[in-house]
Copies of this chain bind each other. A is one copy, B any other.
């Protein structure tokens, strides 16, 4: 749209969160297309399975630059590389999990993180029963060690998996230790400095997709 090369649109207006969310979906779709042997694609094809119009696809991508080729469309492999660079997942991210209860232990073993470039490198808890124990190769440390471990391992993303009543305190500790971003599995809304982005996980959205499908008897598409 802007016709003025990469990054110019990004610089002038930051994309809404949902646009970035759709980038992840475009990335998964492109990876699918690549596995199916497609070398190129179009905004129509890219949007179709996601139920997004071709105009919306083009508008979303235009936030980050210009990617298509006239008469060709998008080159899948190139666009995968470009979207990963935009999302920052062209590098590996060491992450820390705080709270090694059931959820924390489950997240420590979650393969989907590593597949997309996120490597759990530290885990913290406050319970003497858990501190010093090893889960998925990670030795659980006391919360007190958050500052030094985050610095040592250059960890910038923290995952909060503690009960609601402890979440804000843990978030404060992470922030004062220089964490750059937080994924929040606790059921409370965190109060954080504006400079520290936070994403709260809402698993009920996935269930709503299913109740819709059952009510409307929609088969897999």
Which of A's residues lie within 8 Å of B, judged by CB? 10, 14-25, 27-28, 48-53, 55-56, 59-60, 86-89, 93, 95, 101-103, 105-107, 109-113, 115-118, 156-157, 180-183, 187, 192, 194-199, 201-221
Contacts and interface: CB of A to CB of B under 8 A. Distances in A.
14 contacts: A18-B49, A23-B208, A87-B215, A88-B215, A101-B106, A102-B105, A102-B106, A113-B207, A116-B204, A157-B207, A157-B210, A194-B219, A194-B220, A195-B217
Given A17-B51, A201-B203, 15 more contacts: A17-B209, A24-B204, A52-B56, A53-B55, A53-B56, A87-B208, A87-B212, A88-B211, A88-B215, A106-B106, A112-B202, A116-B204, A118-B211, A157-B207, A199-B210
The 4 closest A-B pairs by CB, nearest first: A16-B51, A88-B215, A103-B106, A197-B213
B214 A88 contact: yes
Contacts of A117: 211
Contact of A204 (B48, B115, B214): B115
A112 B187 contact: yes
Contacts of A53: 55-56, 59
Contacts of A198: 220
A14 B105 contact: no
Nearest to A213: B197
A140 B80 CA distance: 44
A89 B17 contact: no
A27 B103 CA distance: 27
B207 A93 contact: yes
A125 to B, nearest CB: 13
B18 A25 contact: yes
Nearest to A161: B106
A213 B113 contact: no
